[in-house]
Structure 1
Amino acid sequence: MAGSRLEKIGTIYTRTTGLLRSGALNWQDRPLWYDIYEAFPPKEEPRFDRPIPNMKLKTIFYKEDKIRAMFHRNNKHIGTTNMSNNKYTSLTQRFIETYQKLESENRDLPEEELYKQAIDVLKWDREVRAQAENEEAISLSTAFKEAKSKQDSDQDKIKIDVKDIFK
């Protein structure tokens, strides 16, 4: 039983228990979940042949889900989002925040108008950021010209005659 990895033979708990009893797995090396499972066992054993419970699933929707769906429906090519980088908010999150801010300021506007205004604000914000980046960034050719002119001016200041060195 312990050598099998089929879910039909036993649950992961019974297989782990078998490994512990046989000595194939040291007690100190048991999985983290093992003690929790023993302390709080499930009401019904999680087996493959257990019938599926007949219960209705609740639909959970948040207010911003409708805004997010509207944004993604109209903007298919947004790009990827780096979930590991918490420093920057995603484009979708910025849109939702902008939309909610505009909605709180103008409660009587229809959704379509709020959507258009939020898109315009995001476009304006992107243009402002692009201009700021362009002002900060120096092109390679400009940097090369500046370095060359500085080097030329430095050579003009330093005039050493080889004859003077050996005097």
Structure 2
Amino acid sequence: MAQSRLQKFASIFNRVEGFLRSGGIKPDDKPIWFDVYKRFPPVVEPIYLRPLPDINVKPIFYHEDKIRAEFYRVFGSPGVIDLMDSSNPTICDLFIEKYVEIAKSSQMDIDDVTLFNLAANRLRESGIKLRKYEGSNNIDLPDVNIDKPAMKSHNPKQNIDIASLMDNE
């Protein structure tokens, strides 16, 4: 099947219009948006080669997002999550609820590392098993800094020495 790279040079409207003229698409099968687009074309045609506008996009990160990222960095994924089942919150959602609850109920100003450790310990006390991503069963959590993103994650496959594997033959 021949493939075209026309999408880089023409808009979707021009391509559909070409299909209609050549008979590739029957007039009865044309997209619903085609007549509206033809009647009210955009001011600037949306094509691939048009330069992007120089707009400064603000990062949209909430404190909850930082907590969630740190949770998954420390504890890894808890397994399969059913997104259709909204009645059962995930372990991460329970962790964030505990974290926020501790932060609101404390009278003192507690740093993020201590809040993270307290929330993890409260979840363990309630019977939820949190396993560390590195595989250790140590209850003490590492010091985490929620404001600085983790630069590298633990990947056990990175430490394989191929030369030592070949010498064992």
Fold-level match, TM-score > 0.5? Answer: yes
Tell me by how many angstroms 1:39 deviates.
6.0
Residue ranges of structure 2 left out of the alignment (5+ in a row): 130-169
Tell me by how many angstroms 1:99 deviates.
0.9
Code of the residue aligned with 2:93 in structure 1: it is: Q
Describe the shift of the 1:56–1:106 C-alpha distance in structure 2 as closer, same or farther (beyond 3 A): same
Q: Which residue of the partner structure matches residue 13 of structure 1? A: 13
Q: Which residue of the partner structure matches residue 150 of structure 1? A: none
Equivalences for residues 36-47 of structure 1 within 5 A: 37-38=37-38, 41-47=41-47
CA RMSD for the aligned pairs? 2.9
SS of alignment partner, residue 116 of structure 1: helix
Tell me by how many angstroms 1:31 deviates.
3.0
SS of alignment partner, residue 127 of structure 2: helix
Describe the shift of the 1:38–1:95 C-alpha distance in structure 2 as closer, same or farther (beyond 3 A): farther
Q: Which residue of the partner structure matches residue 126 of structure 2? A: 125
SS of alignment partner, residue 68 of structure 1: helix
Higher relative contact order at CA 8 Å, sep ≥6: structure 1 or structure 2?
2
Code of the residue aligned with 2:71 in structure 1: it is: F
Q: Which residue of the partner structure matches residue 75 of structure 1? A: 75
Residue ranges of structure 1 left out of the alignment (5+ in a row): 129-167
Q: How many residues align?
A: 126
Tell me by how many angstroms 1:117 deviates.
1.9
- Render the CA deviation track for 1:110-130: whole Å, top value 9, x for unaligned: 3222212211222233359xx
Q: For 1:124 and 1:15, how far apart are their aligned partners in 2?
A: 61
CA contact (8 A) 2:9 2:47 kept: no
Q: For 2:11 and 2:118, how far apart are their aligned partners in 1?
A: 55
- More helix, by proportion: 1
Identity of aligned pairs, percent? 35
For normalisation by structure 1, the TM-score amounts to 0.59
SS of alignment partner, residue 55 of structure 1: coil
Code of the residue aligned with 1:89 in structure 2: it is: P
Q: Which residue of the partner structure matches residue 95 of structure 2? A: 95
Q: For 1:102 and 1:39, how far apart are their aligned partners in 2?
A: 57
Q: For 1:105 and 1:57, how far apart are their aligned partners in 2?
A: 35
